[in-house]
Every structure is written in structure tokens, then in C-alpha cells.
Amino acid sequence: MFEFNTEKYWQSEMLSHEDSFQKTREAMQDDFAKVLDTCVKAIKSGNKIMLFGNGGSASDAQHLATELTVRFIDTRKPIAAIALTTDTSALTAIGNDFGFDHIFSRQIEAIGNKGDIAIAISTSGKSPNIIKALEMARTQNITTIGLSGRDGGGMPPLCDHMLIVPSNITARIQEMHILLGHMLCGGLEQKL
């Protein structure tokens, strides 16, 4: 019979997280700086940030859009951001009428403008609705940013900037995504 060892589990998970954190820290500083600068320029030009993803990544999109529109640390002017994952009427109507693969692309087509930012969050980078949204954003001259893991899936050729967490473990990728997202919110708050 298997006996679960809480201490061993704790140490193993913490070490796995530390490893992902260290690899992310070593791999991404320059790419993150480019993403931050790109977002600052867009907001200063009167544009907005649209975030989207599935499952846990949908929650991250909502979380980060809220940090930007309300506040992260300091009270300041709101930063124009929207999560494309929150309107259940739009999601279900688009899913019903056009198919689930179009739930984000249709919204980008409707509300996206040249100079906006589309931030796609996907641990695998393979979700058809993420790919279609990035393709739509490209047709509208919207800057595309991808947060992914593993090898980025199909996102890299469709993104102007990629932050690919160097891990194959979904939980570790998600943990780094929220760290990178918080850093983006904090950086925008300070630079704007």
C-alpha cells in the first residue's frame, strides 16, 4: 500500500518550483523588457490590452486585466485592459453560432483596434481558439504577445513577442505566468 509522505511532497514541489523560477529568470529578462516597453507605448498611445486564455489561463487573463483596470499596488489612473473570457453571453453565442474555436477571434474582430495589444496565455500554445485569435489580431495590426511553456506550440510565428516558460510541467508554467503577469502590471504601473 502506498503511503503519502507530506514532507517529501512539500520538498519536491518547492524544488520543482525553484527550478522553474531559476530557469525563467535566466531566460527571459530581455524578452520581458521588450514586452513591457511595447505595452507602455500602446497605453501611452491610447490603446488597450486584451487578454485571453482557457481554463486556468482564463482566470489569469481576468486577474491581470483587473489588476490593470483597478490597481496593482498603487492608486493611479486605470490602465485600459479587458479579459475576453468574462462575457458569458458573448462566449456562449459565439460558441453556439460560430464554434468554440472562434470565441476570442470574434471579440478581437469586434473590439480590437490597430495599435492594441493582444496577450494570449496558453501553457501548451496549441489551443485552436488561441491560434485563431492571434491570426485575427495580426490581420488588424494588433501587437501580439504570447505567454506559453514547453516549445510555445503554434504561437511563436503568430506573436510579436513570446515569453515561453522553460518547463514542461503545466503547474510550473502557470506559476511563472502569474509571476510574469504581476511583474507586467507592476512595471506598467511604475512606468506610466
pLDDT of residue 1: 75
The pLDDT mean for the chain works out to 97
Give all domains of the chain, ordered by start, each with its CATH number.
27-191 (3.40.50.10490)
- Torsion, Cα of 34, 38, 41, 44 (10° steps): -120
CA dist 86 to 82, 89, 141, 158, 177, Å? 9, 9, 24, 24, 19
The three grid cell numbers given for residue 108, joined into one nine-digit string: 478581437
pLDDT of residue 108: 98
pLDDT of residue 103: 98
pLDDT over threshold 90, residue 2: no
pLDDT of residue 137: 98
Q: Specify whether the CB–CB gap between 35 and 153 falls below 8 A.
A: no
Per-residue pLDDT band for 96 (boundaries 50, 70, 90) equals very high
Helix (H) or strand (E) holding 132: helix 128-139
d(CA 174, CA 150): 12
Query: Above pLDDT 70, what percent of the chain?
Result: 100
